[in-house]
Amino acid sequence: MKQFTSLADVADPKALVDKVLQLKASGNSNRNIGSDLTLALLFFNPSLRTRLSSQKAAQLLGMESLVLDVNQGWPLEFEVGAVMNDNKSEHVREAAAVVSQYCDILGIRCFPGLKDRDEDYAEPLLSAFQEYGNKPIINLESATRHPLQGLTDVVTIREHRKSVKPKIVLTWAPHPKALPQSVANSFASWVLAMDYELVITHPEGYELDPNVTRGAHIEYDPNKAYKDADVVYAKNWSSYRDYGKIMSNDGRFMVNAEKMALSNNAFFMHCLPVRRNVVVADDVIDSQQSLVIQQANNRTFAAATVMKEIIELSIYE
């Protein structure tokens, strides 16, 4: 693997899921893989799970890590040809080239502006680090994708599925803030890459990018969607069509015990952080069928496997 910025970087997604499970089962046997190598983690936005699980993953491989909260420094300029006489102190060209020299693998988190869809979907920050840096990049959630979460989620489904082709429901849920589409996009992509059945339910107007959801069934009625579901995955996203807008707070889409009862005793999943009793009722997230804590745990093993693949196939190829 040359980099891990989206599902498209992965030649065989199903095989990668197997590798995550193997690494998870292998305990402390990988401590030499990353010896003398350095992981740099750049956060343009806050992080809890991603930050800790990525550092923990580096430790599992014996790698050092460097963590930088970029916004405690100065704002970066992205525009080519800009006359930088305002508040931007450094161009991303230099930042990317410089940071990549201090590490062997570079992890980057940067959320979208949610104002200009074309700009966000062009992934300007990630692209700039790919163009101007020269080290393998791991996407720690970018403007429109969160592939480490997607990989983690299908690994968790794989651990718990009761059939080879489970029915997965991705349900939009209400939220007081406008959120990116990144988790929903990556979850859909990875579930479809596993050849699972995917039903996406949301209020009309909340359709995701059709290029992402091709192969999924869209169902506006959550009660119909939940029928026979093996997994219910909840996530809010702001509108893709009326980009970045909150079009609905429809409480019918909160995951609750009543709707879960329509399912095939489905597992409940969410990437966290989650707003209780807005996105999901307490009695669902606290139930035996809730996998949210297991998902978060698998972040470590997904990240470590991705780093191991990059080390073995790119750095030491």
User: 15, 25, 28, 316: which one contacts a second copy (CB under 8 A)?
Assistant: 28
Q: Is the dihedral of CA 97, 102, 107, 108 positive or negative?
A: negative
Cα 221 from Cα 231, distance rounded (Å):
17
- Asked if 182 is part of the footprint of a second copy (rule: CB under 8 A), the reply reads no
Q: Give the up-direction half-sphere exposure of residue 241: CA atoms within 13 A in the CB hemisphere.
A: 7
Specify which residues 91 forms β-bridges with: 77
Interface stretch with a second copy, choices 88-96, 113-121, 205-213, 240-248 (CB under 8 A): 88-96
Q: What is the DSSP string of 274-293?
A: --BTTTB-HHHHTSTTB-HH
- Choices 49-57, 109-117, 154-162, 185-193 (CB under 8 A): range interacting with a second copy: 49-57
Q: Quick one: 8 or 98, whose CB is closer to a second copy?
A: 98
- Cβ nearer to a second copy, comparing 198 with 279: 279
User: Binder to a second copy among 10, 16, 17, 95 (CB under 8 A)?
Assistant: 95
Q: Please report how close the Cβ of residue 85 comes to a second copy at its closest, in angstroms.
A: 5
For residues 169 and 266, is the Cβ–Cβ distance under 8 A?
yes
Peptide bond into 180 cis (omega under 30): no
Min dist. Cβ of residue 280 to a second copy (A): 10
- Which lies closer to a second copy via its Cβ, residue 69 or residue 219? 69
Q: CA 282, 285, 264, 17: dihedral to nearest 10 degrees?
A: 170
Amino acid identity, position 299: R
- Burial class of residue 48, CB neighbours in 10 A (0-12, 13-18, 19+): exposed
- Give the β-pairing of 231-235 and 267-269: parallel
Among 158, 161, 227, 275, binds a second copy (CB under 8 A): 275
- Look-up: residue for tokens 């994708």? 145
Which stretches does DSSP call E strand in the chain?
A: 38-43, 64-69, 76-77, 90-91, 105-109, 137-139, 167-172, 197-201, 217-219, 231-235, 267-269
Is the Cβ of residue 78 or residue 220 nearer to a second copy in the bound state?
Answer: 78
Among 12, 18, 94, 195, binds a second copy (CB under 8 A): 94
Residue 56 as a binder of a second copy (CB under 8 A): the answer is yes
Applying CB under 8 A, does 311 fall inside the site for a second copy? no
Query: Is 246 a binder of a second copy (CB under 8 A)?
Result: no
99 lines the binding site for a second copy (CB under 8 A): yes
Does residue 167 touch a second copy according to CB under 8 A? no
Q: To which residue do tokens 């339910």 refer?
A: 201
Least distance (Å) between residue 24 CB and a second copy = 12
Find the shortest distance in angstroms from Cβ 195 to a second copy: 29
Q: What does the alpha-carbon distance between residue 267 and residue 258 come to, in Å, rounded to a whole number?
A: 14
Tokens 């970066």, located at residue: 76
Q: Tell me: does residue 23 bind a second copy (CB under 8 A).
A: no
Span near a second copy by CB under 8 A; candidates 59-67, 164-172, 216-224, 228-236? 59-67
Among 11, 163, 276, 287, binds a second copy (CB under 8 A): 276
Q: Does 168 bind a second copy (CB under 8 A)?
A: no
Half-sphere exposure of 60 (CA within 13 A, CB side): 23
From 40-48, 113-121, 197-205, 234-242, span contacting a second copy (CB under 8 A): 40-48
**C-beta of 11 vs 82, nearer to a second copy:** 82
Q: State the residues that interact with a second copy by CB under 8 A.
A: 28, 31, 36, 38, 40, 46-49, 51-53, 55-56, 59, 64, 66, 68-70, 72-74, 77, 81-86, 88-91, 93-95, 97-99, 101-103, 176, 272-278, 282, 286, 292-293, 296-297, 300
